[in-house]
Amino acid sequence: MNDKTILPDHKKKFGIRFESIAGLGADTAAQILAKTAVLHLGLNSVQFSSYGHKKKGAAMRSFIRFSEKNIRSTAPIESPDVIVVFHSALLKNPATLAGMKADGILIYNGSDKLPANLSHLPSTTKLIQIDAQRIALKEKTSLDAVLLGTITAALPFLDFSTLQSIAPNKNAFQRGAQEFEILSNIGKGKGNLPISKPKPTFGYETAPIGGTFPCTGNTIENDLSTIRIQWLPILNIEKCVHCGICEMVCPDFCFVWAHGKNNQIYLQGIDYQYCKACLRCVESCSTGALRRKSEEPGMADKLGMRRLK
Partner 1 sequence: MIEHTEFLNGKEAAALASQDIKPYFIGEQAAMCYGASLGGGRVFNLGTMPEILAEQSNTRIPIVQNLVTSGKHLDTALNSGWIILLARNPQAVYDLNLAAVKIGEHTDIRLPVIVCYDEYFTHEQKHRLHVFDEGIQSFLGEPKAAITALDPNNPVTFGSKTFNTNKQHFMAMATARGVIFEVLNEFEKLTGRAYPILDAYRMDDAEYAVILLNTAAETAKDVVDQYRDKGLKVGVISPNVIRPFPIEDFITTLKNVKTIVVGDRAEGGNISLEIRAALQQDPNNKTVVLSRIYGKEFNEADVEAFFELAQNSRDAIPFDYYGCYKGEADYKPPKGLPVIDAKVASMATITGKSGNLKVELAPLWAIADVTNRIAPGHGACPGCGIFSMLRQIFSVLEGELVILFQSGCGMVVTTDYPKTAHRITYIQNDSQNGATTLSGLVEMYHEKVRRGELAESNDITFLMITGDGGMDFGMGDAIGAANRNHRMIIIEYDNQGCMNTGGQLSDSTPLGHSTGTVEKSFHHKDTAQIFAACHLPYVFTASEGFSEDLMRKVAKAQWYAKREGLVYGKIMSFCPLHWHTPDSVAQSVMQAALDCHFFPLYEVEKGKTTLTYDPDILGTRLPVTSWLKRMGKTKHLLNPKNAAILKSFETEVERRWKRIKAMHEHEEL
User: CB-wise, 56 or 92, nearer to ligand SF4?
Assistant: 56
Shortest Å, Cβ 12 to ligand SF4 = 39
Choose the contact partner of 260 out of ligand SF4, partner 1, none; CB within 5 to 8 A by kind.
none
User: CB-wise, 81 or 131, nearer to partner 1?
Assistant: 81
Q: Kindly state whether residue 4 participates in binding partner 1, applying the rule CB under 8 A.
A: no
Shortest Å, Cβ 226 to partner 1 = 12
Subset of 156-185 contacting partner 1 (CB under 8 A): none
Spatial separation of the C-alpha atoms in residues 132 and 98, rounded to whole Å: 23
Among 7, 114, 240, 305, binds ligand SF4 (CB under 6 A): 240
User: CB-wise, 187 or 233, nearer to ligand SF4?
Assistant: 233
Subset of 181-240 contacting partner 1 (CB under 8 A): 200-207, 211, 213, 215-222, 224, 227
User: CB-wise, 63 or 180, nearer to partner 1?
Assistant: 63
Mark the segment that binds partner 1 (CB under 8 A) among 84-92, 101-109, 141-149, 243-251: 243-251
User: CB-wise, 153 or 250, nearer to partner 1?
Assistant: 250
Among 53, 113, 190, 302, binds partner 1 (CB under 8 A): 53
What DSSP line would sit under the chain, residue for residue?
--SS---SSTTS-EEEEEEEETTSSHHHHHHHHHHHHHHHSS-EEEEEEEESS--TT-EEEEEEEEESS-----S--SS-SEEEES-GGGGGSGGGTTT--TT-EEEEE--SSPPGGGGGSBTTSEEEEE-HHHHHHHTTS-HHHHHHHHHHHH-TTS-HHHHHHH-S-HHHHHHHHHS-EEE-S---B-SPPPPP-PPP---TTTSPGGG----SSGGGG---GGG-SSEEEEE-GGG----SHHHHH-TT--EEEEE-GGG-EEEEEE-TTS-----HHHHH-SSS-EEEEE--TTHHHHH------
Among 285, 295, 300, 304, binds ligand SF4 (CB under 6 A): 285
Subset of 88-117 contacting ligand SF4 (CB under 6 A): none
Contact set with ligand SF4 (CB under 6 A):
55, 233, 235, 240-246, 250, 252, 254, 267, 270, 275-281, 285, 287, 289-290
